[in-house]
Structure formats: structure tokens, C-alpha cells
Amino acid sequence: MLTKPIVNRRGMLALLGGTVLGAGALSASRAWANTPVARAGDKALIVEFDAALNSRLISSLTGQAVTLTDFGPSETVTLKGGQVIDRFTFIEHRQAVISDAHGKGVRHTVRGASAEGLEKTVNLTFYDRYPGFPLMTTAWRRTRGEPLVIESYRVGAHTLKSSGAGFWSWSGSTHSDRRDWVQPVKDGFDQPNFMGMNASDYGSGTPVADVWRPDAGIAVGHIELTPKLISLPIIASSAGASVALQEARAVTLKPGDTLVSLDAFVTAHQRDYYATLDAYRRVMADRGLAAPKAPEGSYEAIWCAWGYDRDFTVAEIEATYGKVKAMGFKWAVLDDGWQTNEGDWALDPRKFRTEAEMVSFVKAIRAAGLKPKLWLAPLAVDPGSDLLHDHTDMLLLDADGAVQNVTWWNAFYLCPAYQPTRDYTQKLVRKIIGEWGYEGLKLDGQHMNGVAPCHNPAHNHARPEESVEKLQDFWKMVYDTALEANPNAVVEFCPCGTSYAFHNLPYTNQVPASDPLSSWQVRLKGKSLKALMGRDAAYAGDHVELSDGGNDFASTVGIGAVISTKFTWPNEGRGKDANFRLTPEREVVWRKWADLYNTRMLPKGQYLGELYDIGFDKPEAHAIEKDGRLYYAFYAPQWDGPVELRGLGKGGYRLTDYYNGTDLGTVTAANARIPAKFEKFLLIEAVPVKGRRA
């Protein structure tokens, strides 16, 4: 069973350099290079193959052909014992016009054969509506000889050449250190991006890896309809920054047998990763996986009682409602602590002695003019709970029969693919929404993002990976059940600190920054999730108290995210380093940002993520179009210089610094750079001026 990345840095560099071949064979292989014998492509990207079936990528996005990568062995297999088969003598190139769920396109088939008796066929399909984003499958067929024992394969392996300005990267994998999804690629950078579990309760993600330089980038990923236990390594080398898709799949090929790769893609783009994730989202929507349209409630400002921590009292929460309402927040979220434990989900009698008291609590929220939402952590069960005592059959177990830990609550995983787990959770959701009257769920915990393969014999899984692949079905059940009870329910999905698993996103209508470590994470996660869920996705910046300085609303409002807070009032909250009391000074700041947010409601606009490069553009910039107006947000510790307003239409625009209420003059698309001096942020509203022409 695959539990870790399949190729380390040294092994990957060897693959990139072809060092598994003997010196003579390597020289012969290189002698074949640099002479293309087959071309597949469209107006944005050309993939060329040489006589050894090495390939390279050439971008035409700027109108001129730019060679992004050198010829290299992009599709290979590794045998038991470590031998890599990466040289295939070219046989033929065919193409055919096709039409399918992704529209019209041209499929290119390139075929070659190796000296070891293995035939390779690469299918690249370029679609009219996805320029520069070909879908790819690769097949290896044993044609003769003894059975061939294959341990793994690699596809879409390319090294973006250096331009001298460095590289940035976007990785869709999850790590227990909750690292940035967007990172610079410096000397020694080596991130395997294994898409399974990288810690007991941190795993899965979005199966895409992207690297870029100022003028161009490349990416690879898979488009399967369920998560797969693959790696998408990003590695810096003297040649540049490399990406690849690798899967450990042990198979024995007898003559006539074929190994077929996952459905994948390779792409080239301009600026940062946004174009890649946006195209990936649309391709997956064609295949039936798409985030739902968010209801109005998903965009409304959020107050959460988490500032009072687990040891809250009902009285202190209810005493805060008036201030919450007066400040312009619409939701009141009851967080962790209402229950006896994770698993039983019985009411803590110190707070709610009966279910009737919980119903009264919900009614009090509504009576205050707010909407009630309840925190829940499905798939976790605590030691000592009745559920664990009575239903050990629900546990997710590893190959040794051990439980899978959920570290934050010292709990264990339940298996999402086991029907009794599903039935138990469905009954709970029906109670919370249908009987208690909550209008939303806050689903919480890093463990929700991904699970390990399950070996519990009580579950009769056809394969251990069923738990991995059916996790999304579990979340679909939760989402559908909530909306059956209340069609306008907000189902927030907060997989704390993880990189969101794309396959779960069709079953949530609100996603937060999920415990950001910085304001930078608030912004980069927002850009990423707007790409993965849609330009008007209901993405929330999470509790502003988690941002830089504990008050950086600008990083939420400016990118078109929903504002959220956990302030306490009139007294201080609880928990580690509690500093959440809404002092008179804070109240002025919180109220101003809530007014700015509620007046403009920028999350409902169209996030224009393709206009700016989050890595290379300075200052960092974001843009939104809403109701014919453009909104710009610039971020830097300090800035004194020009900023460029990209994406303007015809005519003139009147500019206003909408935080400070300052008139910044008028610009046109032809003259869109203005001088700016600011600390931390600058927020600009651009309103078309009638009758003014460029």
C-alpha cells in the first residue's frame, strides 16, 4: 500500500537527467534529441516529440513561440529493481477530430516502442474551449518477452527553464505544518506533494502542481472523478523547476497486457496559477463535479462564539447578540463545546439540560435578528464515548488493525465509506437542521479533508482505497441532508489548515480560510478557492482575529471574501492568549469594516484572478468586477510608487480610495498607472465616468 511519495529528490533528478541509462545509451539518446518528429497543439501550446519520444512544451500565448522546456522523457515507467524505461523509438503520429463532454477538439496519438518490448501510446486532446490545456492519457503495452514487473509510472514530467528571475509555485497537497500553498521555488526546493495522508489527520488536496516564472508557467494534474494516491513533485534543479505526475501502481505485464495512466492534463499559462485552476474547475464541471451556487446567506457577515472557547456559558453568548446585530453581522455561530464529546454529540448538561433548551437557544438567536449556525466535526469519535464503546465497527483501521488518530481532539477516524457511519451522521444532521432549527452547519477539522485507506474487515471494502474515494460521497450525503431539511441552509466546510480537497468542494456552499497562519494565507487561499469554485464563490476570511495584528479586515474585504469575527462583549473571552474583547477602540474599526463590507458585498462580484501575478507583481494586487465597477486591492508592508489598474474597459473611470474616502482622480485603460503611497493596503473603487472616452 502506498503511504509515502514514490520518488525522492535524488531519484527524481536522476529521472530528469536520464542517468539510469548506460553512458553509451545516454549519448545515443541525446543524439536523437532536438529534432521533432511529431507536433500536437493549438494556438496556445505546442507539444513536440523527438524520435525517442521525449517531449517539450512551446507556448504561443504571447503570439510568439517560446520554448518553455527542453526535450526530456516526460512519460516513463519504473520497473521492480529501479530500472527506468524512458526511451521509445517513434512509430507514428495520428490525429482525429473529436467531440465529447468538453466540446470539440483534436486528439493526437503518438506511439513508440522500447528495446525492452514495451509499446507506449500518448493521447493528447486539445479542445477548442480550453486553449493550452490538453487532456492526456498514456498507455504502455507489453508486446513480447517475459512478464515485466512495473512499480510506478510518471507522466507530464517537464522542467520549466529558468529566465533568471526565479520561480513561484502552487501546490495542492496538505501538510501538518499548514504551509503556504503558494511558495517561491528556491535552490533546494523539493516538495513531493503526495496526495494521500502526509500525517495521521492531514492529507488529500487538489491534484494540481504549478510552477511559473514572470512570463510563463506550466502545470500538471489529474482529472479523475475521485481522489487518487499520487504524487505531484515540484523540484528545483540547475535546469529549472520541474513538475510531474507519479503513481505507484505495482502491475505485472505479460505480452498483450496494458498499463493505462490516470486521465491527466498538462498546460502552459501566463502570470500565476489562477488560469490553471480556473481551467481545471471548468473541465471538472464538464465531468460532473462543480461547486453549487451559494445562497444569499453564505455571503452574510459572520460572528462566531469561539471567542468564549469551549467553556462558554449560554448567558454570555446571548448577552452578545445585541452588539453583534448592531455591528452589522448576520450570523451567530455556536462553536465547539455544546456537546459532551466528539462522536456521541449529546448536549453538555452544563449548558443545555434538554433538547428543548437547545431549541430555545436557537429561537433566541432568531429573535435577536440573527441566523443560527452550529459547529460539528463529523467522522471523529472520542475515546470514552458511547459510540466508540458500542460501535467499534465504524472505525477506520489501517493494515495492522490500528486506529487512525485525529490529533486535535485526541479522537479516532470513522470510516466514511461504511453505511452505519453514514446513517448515524445523517440522523444527526437531520436533528440539527430539521428539529433544533439551525440554518447552517460549520463542519470543522483537518481530518475532514482526506482519509487513509481502510482495512476494517467489518466493512467488506472491495479495496482499501474505497474509504479515500468515497469520502466525497459522505460529504454529499451531509450536504444533501442539510438542504433537504432547509433548502437555504449554509453548509460551511472548514478543514483546518489543509489544502482543500477539490473532490469535496461540490458539497459545500461556504468555505473559509480555515485557520490561516497569516494575512498572506487569507489572500492566497481566497484567490485559489475563487479559481476552484467560481469567481463569486462564498469564501470567508475566517476570524479576523487570526489575521496579522488581529484586525486585518483589508485582506478579507479587498479580495472579495466574507468577513468573520469572534469578538467577545462586554467581557474578555477565554482560551490561549485570549484578547478578543470588543473594546471601544476596536468597535470603531470593526464597525467601519462591517459597513464597507455590507455596502459593497464584493464576494458577489466576479473575481478577476487572471489580471495579476500573486508571486511576481509588486505590490500584490487583486481585482473584482461588480455591477459595472472595478475594485482593486493592493498589499505591501510599505509602498511608494506606481500601481497599475488592469482590466479597465473603454472610457474613463473615477477612482476613490474607499477605505479613506479619498478622491484619486480619473484614469483610462490607456493610462492606467497611478502614483500610490500606502502602508499595508490600498483599496480602490473605479466607477465608469459617463461620456468620458479613452
> Are 68 and 160 within 8 A, CB to CB?
yes
Work out whether strand 331-334 and strand 371-376 pair parallel, antiparallel, or are unpaired.
parallel
Report the alpha-carbon distance of residue 600 to residue 518 in Å, rounded. Answer: 25
Last residue of a domain, one of 286, 311, 336: 286
> Are 334 and 348 within 8 A, CB to CB?
no
Instruction: Give the closest residue to 436 by CA, choosing from 375, 359, 500, 551.
Output: 359
Q: How far is CA 506 from the centre of its chain?
A: 12
pLDDT of residue 301: 99
Work out whether strand 440-444 and strand 490-494 pair parallel, antiparallel, or are unpaired.
parallel
- Label residue 456 by pLDDT band (50, 70, 90): very high
Phi, psi of 565 (to 5 degrees): -150, 160
Q: In this structure, what C-alpha cell is assigned to residue 111?
A: 506511439
State the total domains in the chain.
Answer: 3
Report the alpha-carbon distance of residue 71 to residue 167 in Å, rounded. Answer: 20
Q: What is the mean pLDDT of residues 660-688?
A: 98
Q: In this structure, what C-alpha cell is assigned to residue 127?
A: 479542445
HSE of 537 in the Cβ direction (CA atoms, 13 Å)? 33
> Which burial class, exposed, middle or buried, applies to 670 when counting CB atoms under 10 A from its CB (0-12, 13-18, 19+)?
exposed
- Label residue 691 by pLDDT band (50, 70, 90): low
Report the alpha-carbon distance of residue 558 to residue 684 in Å, rounded. Answer: 9
Q: How many residues does the chain have?
A: 694
HSE of 170 in the Cβ direction (CA atoms, 13 Å)? 32
* Per-residue pLDDT tens over the stretch 53-83: 999 999 999 999 999 999 999 999 999 999 9
Residue 2 has pLDDT above 80, yes or no: no
Report the alpha-carbon distance of residue 377 to residue 529 in Å, rounded. Answer: 22
User: Does residue 644 lie within any of the structural domains?
Assistant: yes
Higher pLDDT, residue 408 or 234: 234
Work out whether strand 562-565 and strand 302-304 pair parallel, antiparallel, or are unpaired.
parallel
CB-CB neighbours of 567 under 10 Å: 24
Q: In this structure, what C-alpha cell is assigned to residue 642?
A: 506606481
Q: In this structure, what C-alpha cell is assigned to residue 246?
A: 507519479
One domain, residues 682 and 579: no
> Are 244 and 221 within 8 A, CB to CB?
no
> Are 387 and 353 within 8 A, CB to CB?
no
* Per-residue pLDDT tens over the stretch 528-555: 999 999 999 999 999 999 999 999 999 9
User: Does residue 458 lie within any of the structural domains?
Assistant: no
One domain, residues 206 and 352: no
* Per-residue pLDDT tens over the stretch 36-50: 999 999 999 999 999
Q: What is the mean pLDDT of residues 487-506?
A: 99
Report the alpha-carbon distance of residue 438 to residue 442 in Å, rounded. Answer: 11
User: Does residue 553 lie within any of the structural domains?
Assistant: yes
Residue 447 has pLDDT above 90, yes or no: yes
Report the alpha-carbon distance of residue 13 to residue 237 in Å, rounded. Answer: 8
Dihedral in degrees, nearest 10, Cα atoms 404, 410, 416, 421: 120
Report the alpha-carbon distance of residue 311 to residue 249 in Å, rounded. Answer: 49
Q: What is the mean pLDDT of residues 633-655?
A: 98
One domain, residues 277 and 312: no
Q: What is the mean pLDDT of residues 429-438?
A: 99
Three-state secondary structure string covering 289-328: CCCCCCCHHHHCCEEEHHHHCCCCCHHHHHCCHHHHHHHC
Report the alpha-carbon distance of residue 381 to residue 410 in Å, rounded. Answer: 9
User: Does residue 267 lie within any of the structural domains?
Assistant: yes
Report the alpha-carbon distance of residue 154 to residue 159 in Å, rounded. Answer: 14
> Which burial class, exposed, middle or buried, applies to 332 when counting CB atoms under 10 A from its CB (0-12, 13-18, 19+)?
buried
Q: Please give the share of the chain, as a percent, with pLDDT higher than 70.
A: 95
Give the amino acid at 426: Q
Q: Which residues contact 472 (CB under 8 A, 6 or more apart)?
A: 226, 227, 501, 503, 504, 506, 507
Q: What is the mean pLDDT of residues 483-494?
A: 99
> Are 223 and 287 within 8 A, CB to CB?
yes
User: Does residue 460 lie within any of the structural domains?
Assistant: no
Strand arrangement, sheet containing 36-41: 36-41, 45-50, 55-59, 66-67
Q: Domain with 146 in it: what CATH number? A: 2.70.98.60
pLDDT of residue 33: 54
What does pTM read for this prediction? 0.94
Instruction: Give the closest residue to 515 by CA, choosing from 531, 528, 498, 502.
Output: 498
Last residue of a domain, one of 545, 576, 607: 607
Q: Domain with 663 in it: what CATH number? A: 2.60.40.1180
Residue 16 has pLDDT above 70, yes or no: no
Q: What is the mean pLDDT of residues 177-203?
A: 98
Last residue of a domain, one of 286, 312, 334: 286
Report the alpha-carbon distance of residue 690 to residue 507 in Å, rounded. Answer: 43
pLDDT of residue 576: 76
Q: Domain with 424 in it: what CATH number? A: 3.20.20.70
- Which residues are bridge partners to 168 per DSSP? 184, 212
One domain, residues 303 and 279: no
Q: What is the mean pLDDT of residues 520-529?
A: 99
pLDDT of residue 26: 38
The H or E element spanning position 499 is none
User: Does residue 410 lie within any of the structural domains?
Assistant: no
3-state secondary structure of 629: strand
One domain, residues 194 and 328: no
The H or E element spanning position 477 is helix 471-485
Parent domain of 352:
296-379+415-449+474-607
Q: Please give the share of the chain, as a percent, with pLDDT higher than 90.
A: 93
| Most distant pair of Cα atoms in the chain: their distance | 82
Q: In this structure, what C-alpha cell is assigned to residue 172?
A: 495542492
One domain, residues 63 and 206: yes
One domain, residues 541 and 641: no
One domain, residues 316 and 429: yes
Residue 527 has pLDDT above 60, yes or no: yes
- Which residues are bridge partners to 642 per DSSP? 675
pLDDT of residue 28: 40
Give the amino acid at 363: K
One domain, residues 444 and 527: yes
User: Does residue 457 lie within any of the structural domains?
Assistant: no
Q: In this structure, what C-alpha cell is assigned to residue 425?
A: 451522521
One domain, residues 667 and 552: no
Alpha-carbon torsion (39, 42, 43, 44), positive or negative: negative
pLDDT of residue 13: 41
Give the amino acid at 68: L
One domain, residues 655 and 579: no
> What is the CA angle 464-468-472, rounded to 5?
140
> Are 636 and 520 within 8 A, CB to CB?
no
Q: What is the mean pLDDT of residues 228-254?
A: 98
34: left (phi over 0), alpha (psi -120 to 50) or beta: left
Q: What is the mean pLDDT of residues 602-609?
A: 99
> Which burial class, exposed, middle or buried, applies to 27 when counting CB atoms under 10 A from its CB (0-12, 13-18, 19+)?
exposed
One domain, residues 234 and 322: no
User: Does residue 386 lie within any of the structural domains?
Assistant: no
> What is the CA angle 387-393-397, rounded to 5?
110
